[in-house]
Amino acid sequence: MSLVRKFATVASGTLMSRLLGFTREMLMAAAVGTGPVADAFYAAFQFPNTFRRLFAEGAFNAAFVPLFAKEIEANGVEGAKRFSEEVFGVLFSVLLVLTIAMELSMPLLVRYLIAPGFGDSPEKLSVTVALATIMFPYLICMSLGAMMAGMLNSLRRYFAAAIAPVFLNVILVAILAYAWYEGMDGPSVGYALAWGVLAAGVVQLAIVWIAVRHAGVVIGFRRPRMTPNVRRLLWLALPAAITGGITQINTLIGTAIASGRDSAVSSLNLADRVYQLPLGVVGVAVAIVLLPELARALKSGDRDEASNLQNRSVEFTLFLTLPAAAALLVISEPIVRVLYERGAFTPEDTSVVSQILAIFGLGLPAFVLIKAFTPGYFAREDTRTPMIFAALSVAVNIGLALSLFPSMGGAGIAAAAAAAGWVNAALLLGVLIRRGHWSSDGGLLRRGPRMLVATLVMGAALWAAMHWFGGRLASARPFYEQAAVLAIMVAGAMAVYFGVVFAIGGADIRTLRRSLRRKGGSPAAPAEPG
- The pLDDT tens digits for 91-144 are 888 889 989 999 999 999 888 877 787 877 888 889 999 999 999 999 888 888
Dump the DSSP string for 451-485. Answer: HHHHHHHHHHHHHHHHHHSGGGGSTTS-HHHHHHH
Task: Quote the pLDDT of residue 403.
Answer: 92
pTM, two decimal places: 0.67
CA-closest candidate to residue 89, choices 203, 219, 239, 204? 219
- Compute CA distances 348 → 76, 352, 357, 441, whole Å: 59, 7, 14, 47
Stronger pLDDT, 1 or 43, i.e. the higher one:
43
The yes-or-no verdict on residue 308 having pLDDT over 50 is: yes
Which 3 state secondary structure label does DSSP give 529? coil
Task: Quote the pLDDT of residue 53.
Answer: 62
- The pLDDT tens digits for 173-224 are 999 888 878 888 878 888 999 999 999 999 999 998 998 888 877 777 777 8
Task: Quote the pLDDT of residue 253.
Answer: 79
pLDDT band at 518; cut points 50, 70, 90: very low
Task: Quote the pLDDT of residue 42.
Answer: 82
Contact 141, 204 (CB under 8 A): yes
230-234, 240-244, 397-401: range with lowest mean pLDDT: 240-244
The yes-or-no verdict on residue 278 having pLDDT over 70 is: yes
Contact 54, 239 (CB under 8 A): no
Where along the chain do its domains lie?
A: 3-517
Please give the Cα distance from 250 to 474 (Å, whole number): 33
Contact 164, 130 (CB under 8 A): no
In degrees, to the nearest 5, what angle opens at C-alpha 121 toward C-alphas 200 and 412? 75
Stronger pLDDT, 316 or 351, i.e. the higher one:
351
Q: Which helix (H) or strand (E) holds 39?
A: helix 36-52
189, amino acid identity:
V
DSSP class of 121: -
DSSP class of 57: I
Contact 206, 168 (CB under 8 A): no
Please give the Cα distance from 119 to 112 (Å, whole number): 9
Handedness of CA 220, 222, 228, 234 (dihedral sign): positive
Task: Quote the pLDDT of residue 195.
Answer: 95
Stronger pLDDT, 493 or 25, i.e. the higher one:
493
Helix pair 479-503, 303-330: axis angle to 10 deg = 140
